[in-house]
Chains A and B, each alone.
Chain A
Amino acid sequence: MRAAVGTPIRRVEDERLLRGEGAYLDDLCPVGTLHAAFVRSVHAHARVVSVDATSSSIAPGVSLVLDGPQLEKLAQPLETRITAPGCRQVRHPHLVVDRARFVGEPVVLVVADDVYRARDAAELVEIDYDPLPAVTTVDTALADWAPVLHDQAPGNVLFERQVASDGEVDATFDAAPVTATVTMRHPRVTGLPIENRGALADWDARAQCLTVWSSTQSPHILRGALADSLDLPAESVRVIVPDVGGGFGTKAQIYPEEIIVAVAARYLGRPVKWAEDRQENLLAASHARDTRIVAEVAADREGTILAMRADIACAVGAYGAHPYGPMLEPMGTASMLPGPYAVPHYRFQTRGVATNASPEGAYRGVGMVVATLTHERLIDELARTLELDPADVRRRNLIPSASFPYATPTGHVYDSGAYAEALSRALARVSYDDLRAEQAERRSAGSQDCRHLGVGISCYVEYTGMGSRTFQTRGMLSVPGNEAAWVRLDLDGGLTAALSIPAIGQGLQTSLAQVLADEFQVPVAQVRVVQADTALTPEGSGAFGSRGAVAGAGALHAAADRLKERLLPLAAELLEAAPVDVEYGAGGMHLRGAPDRGVSLATLAMGIDDADREHAAGLSVSAAYDPPVATFASATHIAVVEVDVETGLVEIRRYVVVEDCGPIINPIIVEGQVHGATAQGIGGVLFEELIYDVGGQLITASLMDYLVPGATELPTIEIDHLETASPLTVGGYKGVGEGGTVGAPAAIANAIADALAPLGVTVSELPLSPERVRALVRERSHTAAPTTSHASTPAIMAGPHNAGHSLVRPS
């Protein structure tokens, strides 16, 4: 029954947050809390010769100073268990032991009674470094002369894989009448939640139990990491997630700092808190993308795709992140490059390369952002080569709705979708034909207008809601992939639920309350979803991979069934009937076929209380749910831009999204997710870039240098919905958290490339800041031929390519 599901109810979490009564990590401060500060490496790559903490240790208020070797005696480094072929394990100490590998890597911990004093004392620590050469790009890290970051990874390759769907890829290319090539570099970016990272740990010496509050997306994975590292049984570790001020993947990783505060709390027998500042966040929280890719498509003269091949390399930073390892971007990009199109033959080579930079982790749309950017640029290049409309080339190649389930050449099985319908709706919404007519008129008029109109289309498909089989297949053994729900019938007949998936701002406490309310056919007001606490749910994975709706609804459904089963005998007793004659109906149980003869949940709750004192605190159950391998959401984005060739400024005139995340639980929440994700995608394509200089110093370590879009930089985002149910998930739901970020860079990049097409320049490097757009325009004015070569083009793909330009071969 759907009563609450599908309705745009306002969020239950909001009143508290609006009154300033949220409780985020740094708002927690138990009596006696001590404060942690870290001394971080100022070198990108250096041997630590000595650490002198003499003055620091005796500074006012200081209770503990620890360096790497001292910490190793108290806690084991994390072992990121990855069995994926081509993946090399490297050692990642919590604090630098002998060699620092990126600027910002924690070297020394200082704990004091006040955060100001902790930072004062941190400044007194003297570290003697012996600097080593640093590498911050794929090219330099792979060079013959490059320093090797880890002995276990010669050549700095942390991950590599080559896969071909079959042996016919090259033959297909050789025989194809048309090919197109795209060279792209996506900058290094970061999720940048407005709340930085943070953790608070408390050790109960009598019970030998550890409690950690962390602003994390992955409480159970953190519990496992703490248990392993501190050599405790998992049952003795409790992780509680307070209100979280945004995650976006940044908080899906397990970080050394979270482990270190727990070590300090156990050592000192006092609560220890670390609240990150923004500079630390930019230096040492996970980064993402930093991908360069050369990809080619082969097609016939009508634009039907015959084959694709690609060479991908990502600068993944100094270590693989826990628990995902170094393969998130390289593998995600490679496996989704065919996108929503029928691609008969495909081959890729992909690499994750160690660089002297903060480790890469998950960030909204991981892998799929660059995959989509690339396949959409390829389609546009193919269309331009063939002088076809890019919308027509897409229509010709989109996987038709009748083809599902559809197995891709990389082994994904798309479950359902309406790709062509999404494209048609988006084209209609922007009045595509009128835009092309306007563009043709403005171009043919030979106008002196410095503003050029561009239209960019982006069609994509994304994996969401992944279960255990996905993470097993990926070889990520520390990611269980399943989730659990705990549901209690309260004494007043209300229902309280907790999930292993934390709320991180995405509105889970409302949308899952809607799901649970419908499971029990009660008003949403009778249902309460509390924040994740590993003491309430036995197992789980976390809030990442657009899994909340799929895994959350699945787990709640299983728990609801179990609770109803448990209530049945009692209802039968109260109704003086045989259990087989009783069924669940609106708000309680009643005699089969006689809804008027029933007992409400409130009566059942009291009945339990009267009949059996053991249950006086309320009956509770928990249940686990393993989502399907994946369910695939999809969308079309269209951007209409005006590019000012004199200033390089890009104005987004219209932005339309037609998304399909299956049945919608709460329309305002879904639209909010699309808004925010799209904004982050737009940030990545127009503004955001983490820049390391050649020596490995991050020169964008403040929000004045790392530019995230503000209200004036973003357009109105218009949204339309399709609701193609998944045949694989409870309720048919698909995930929606990441899609906007996946679609936006391709739409904007294509729109800018389209606007600049008459100049004969090609977009190959993001972000397309005014400076970079002006450089493209200047490139045109300084060269005679429109097909210039690009100095920044990497030579990472063997073969006869003019990188960045379409190759038309004689048939």
Chain B
Amino acid sequence: MSDAATTRRKIQVTVNGRQAEGEAEPRKLLSDFIREDLGLTGTHVGCEHGVCGACTVLLDGEPVRTCLMFAVQADGHDLLTVEGLAPGPDQLHPIQEAFWERHGLQCGFCTPGFLLTIKVYLAENPDPTEREVREALSGNLCRCTGYQNIVKATLRAAEILRSEPENADKASTKTTQRD
């Protein structure tokens, strides 16, 4: 392995609203950096080739597959992982609530990737049909649920988010934009 690949570089990110800093070889995957160097093991690795979606996090608000990125590519960027989704220790995010209520998870391994994918999707499309939800989730694999209750949980999360006053304005604007 050449020196260029193994010389460690400094990486600074904002993760879940906090500044964090680490060092990694340029070849180190972002997924491994998040798990090992940032200690955030809620981001799971299921395939290492960008198909299963378990390792999805938000980079500057957009979903990315961290097994397809190098940690150095995230330098200077803003990350949101599953650990940063809930507003606090006493409260869950509405998508997490909906997953719990509708039994949207079984083994839970793919769940973090779904939650973050759905967060972005519902911001873009706050009132989706079941078919639209299925299409939005088609890049994430789950082997336990047959997606039945993930779809239901997503529709339920959309409902909760629409009913929350702070989201209502946003929701109506988005709906208009969609058309």
Contact = CB atoms under 8 A, between A and B. Distances in A.
A116 B28 contact: yes
A504 B108 CA distance: 10
Contacts of B46: 194-196, 245, 278
Contact of B83 (A19, A243, A672, A708): A19
B111 A676 contact: no
Contacts of B149: 668, 672, 675
Given A15-B92, A18-B92, A704-B51, A712 B134 contact: yes
B47 A245 contact: no
B56 to A, nearest CB: 12
Contact of A244 (B25, B36, B107): B107
A494 interface: no
Interface stretch (A6-14, A470-478, A788-796): A6-14
A508 B23 CA distance: 40
B47 A246 contact: no
B146 A679 contact: yes
Interface stretch (A20-28, A168-176, A572-580, A767-775): A20-28
A505 B108 contact: yes
Contacts of A618: none
Given A120-B1, A505-B106, A711-B134, A245 B51 contact: no
B144 A505 contact: yes
A195 B105 contact: no
Contact of A194 (B28, B42, B96, B141): B141
Interface string B76-105: 000001110110000010001001110101
Interface in B118-162: 130, 133-135, 137-151
Contact of B108 (A14, A279, A669, A711): A14
Contacts of B54: 194
B143 A675 contact: no
Interface of B: 1, 25, 27-28, 35-36, 40-49, 51-52, 54, 81-83, 85-86, 92, 96, 99-101, 103, 105-112, 115, 130, 133-135, 137-151
Contacts of B96: 18-19
Interface in A623-682: 668-669, 671-672, 675-676, 678-680, 682
A315 to B, nearest CB: 24
B148 to A, nearest CB: 4
B151 A711 contact: yes
Contacts of A507: 106
Given A245-B110, A675-B145, 7 more contacts: A10-B103, A18-B115, A19-B85, A195-B46, A278-B49, A710-B138, A710-B140
Given A19-B42, A245-B44, A703-B52, A24 B109 contact: yes
A192 interface: yes
Contacts of B106: 246, 505-507, 672, 676
A726 B48 CA distance: 45
- Of B42, B49, B92, B106, the most chain A CB neighbours within 10 A belong to B106
Contacts of B142: 194
A341 interface: no
Contacts of A11: 100, 103
Contacts of A714: 146-148
A237 to B, nearest CB: 26
Contacts of A120: 1
A704 B47 CA distance: 10
Nearest to A678: B146
Given A20-B83, A668-B103, A704-B51, A711 B44 contact: no
A714 B134 CA distance: 9
A617 to B, nearest CB: 29
B145 A277 contact: no
Interface of A: 10-11, 13-15, 17-24, 26-27, 29, 116, 120, 191-196, 243-246, 248, 277-279, 504-507, 668-669, 671-672, 675-676, 678-680, 682, 702-704, 708, 710-712, 714, 716-717
11 contacts: A11-B100, A26-B45, A116-B27, A191-B143, A243-B107, A245-B110, A505-B144, A702-B51, A703-B47, A708-B143, A712-B138
A455 B62 CA distance: 43
A429 B81 CA distance: 43
Contacts of A191: 143
Contacts of B146: 675-676, 678-680, 682, 714, 717
Contact of A19 (B92, B109, B133, B145): B92
Nearest to A18: B96
A22 B44 CA distance: 10
Nearest to A673: B106
Given A14-B105, A17-B111, A669-B103, A711 B147 contact: yes
Nearest to A682: B146
Contact of A17 (B1, B108, B139): B108
A194 B110 contact: yes
B145 A672 contact: yes
A672 B112 contact: no
Contacts of B137: 710-711
Contacts of B86: 18-19
A191 B42 CA distance: 23
B100 A20 contact: no
A192 B46 CA distance: 10
A568 to B, nearest CB: 39
B107 A14 contact: no
B42 A20 contact: yes
